[in-house]
Structure 1
């Protein structure tokens, strides 16, 4: 794994890439903010190098002790970002200075940083959501180049499905692929697609819904507060109650157990 990034923007040097990392649930999390992460992603898009990115929130990390495939995907990643205040707070108990990196904000930051050099392919959401996301991005970031939008099939994805997708992405001229399938499905797909595409692959889940306007985003004053999940739960209780009411305590216990075993 080789990061091509301006050294002046790095927070430290605790990995071969020069990006400082800290462990949460034994998963290495990058100590970067959205802007630095965006510039790093764009640099790999321009260089046409395969680059596996994951946004790790409390729910994602609550699953790794029970999901070997997910854990392997995160450990194989080039960049795991702290998606959500709880994960960023865990880092601030060690050496981290930055984060959280929210999916919608990362999409906007990459679109802005990549003007003139990045070409985006949006693969995710229900029918019409990827197209709506493209419209939202074009309105917010004039000049952003979106070269493909697509709704994934709602079923288990075969190797042939992903091989065909990779062919369509390459043919479009894209150099960044955004994936919106929800955790952990989108994280599995990143690892499976990485050998097929020489570009960053970034799963951002609900960012598709937020950018398209299909789902209302939490008010700005809740961002970074640690309580954004309360708003999301109030809007979609039937879909999200298990993620937050079971996943959050499970994440805290897992993080505590891993830190204790590491002697932190």
Structure 2
């Protein structure tokens, strides 16, 4: 069970078998800042409705999330489900909002960040935006997300060599979670946060839902309206599966998933 570093009050709850941290955005940022000060690893994991459904069968994704140092309710549907099932969460802590909060922290404290993910053109645009909007932060390194497994060792070495304070991964699930699980002990970066499509949003490539849609838990619908041909089947199946899972949970609670054994550190990271 996770405890708040300042109060030592347990703030974790088990929902759908996963140990979610029942914290606010401010509390999540405070934990990250504490890890930065100590230069201790803090791997951030986030869970939404789609991921809750997927991790039931995707063992690698589930185990990667279970190894995170803080696991947050990224989706409003997860918060509502927690309240309905008697496991209240104080608020949604969206991955993109934590991302921008940590960028602001890096700006104010002159921290360095490493960006991993997206297409090269998106990454270049993101670097331009961040250096303009957050002049106090330093880009320690950046690499696009279109690499295969054979290149991971070189990328992990580059991240380690950068001595970055924060690593943000703009890659889809479960790729970002699995990368962090495989290479977490090698990276030597205090804050590791997989932010999915947030690179595209901050770079101005895609548009995020208005705040009223976010509060209503309808960001998925906004994305559906932007790209209905590609997204309708995904959201129909995922949302239906989540509702079925929620109904089942009312009658039979999923027991906590056991924490997995730690993966051995890849041998080829030396040199």
Tell me whether the two structures share a fold, i.e. TM-score over 0.5.
yes
Number of aligned residue pairs: give it.
252
Match in the other structure for 2:68: 77
Structure 2 residue 157 is matched with structure 1 residue 164: no
Indicate the SS of the match to 1:128.
helix
Match in the other structure for 1:60: 51
Residues 33 and 100 of structure 1 are in contact (CA less than 8 Å); yes or no, is this contact kept in structure 2? Answer: yes
| Deviant stretches of 4+, over 4 Å | 1-4
Residues 45 and 71 of structure 2 are in contact (CA less than 8 Å); yes or no, is this contact kept in structure 1? Answer: yes
CA distance 1:172–1:96, change in 2 (3 Å): same
Aligned CA-pair RMSD: 2.4
State how far apart, in whole Å, the 1-side matches of 2:105 and 2:27 are: 10
Match in the other structure for 1:5: 5
CA distance 1:64–1:2, change in 2 (3 Å): closer
CA distance 1:236–1:127, change in 2 (3 Å): farther
Pick from 172, 176, 191 the counterpart of residue 186 of structure 1: 176
State how far apart, in whole Å, the 2-side matches of 1:221 and 1:67 are: 33
> CA shift at 1:117, angstroms?
5.2
Structure 2 residue 103 is matched with structure 1 residue 111: yes
Residues 2 and 12 of structure 2 are in contact (CA less than 8 Å); yes or no, is this contact kept in structure 1? Answer: no
The C-alpha deviation readout for 1:174-220, integer Å capped at 9, x for no partner, is 02111111112212112112121232211110111111111111112
Residues 16 and 254 of structure 2 are in contact (CA less than 8 Å); yes or no, is this contact kept in structure 1? Answer: no
State how far apart, in whole Å, the 1-side matches of 2:77 and 2:51 are: 12
CA distance 1:50–1:119, change in 2 (3 Å): same
Pick from 83, 89, 104 the counterpart of residue 92 of structure 1: 83
CA distance 1:3–1:205, change in 2 (3 Å): same
Indicate the SS of the match to 2:139.
strand
Indicate the SS of the match to 1:223.
helix
> CA shift at 1:239, angstroms?
3.6
**Could you tell me the TM-score, scaled by structure 1's length?**
0.85
**Could you tell me the TM-score, scaled by structure 2's length?**
0.83
> CA shift at 1:70, angstroms?
1.0
- Rg (Cα) greater in structure: 2
CA distance 1:194–1:83, change in 2 (3 Å): same
State how far apart, in whole Å, the 2-side matches of 1:154 and 1:263 are: 36
The C-alpha deviation readout for 1:197-252, integer Å capped at 9, x for no partner, is 23221111011111111111111221221111111111123443343111111122
- Structure 1 gap segments, 5+ residues each: 14-19
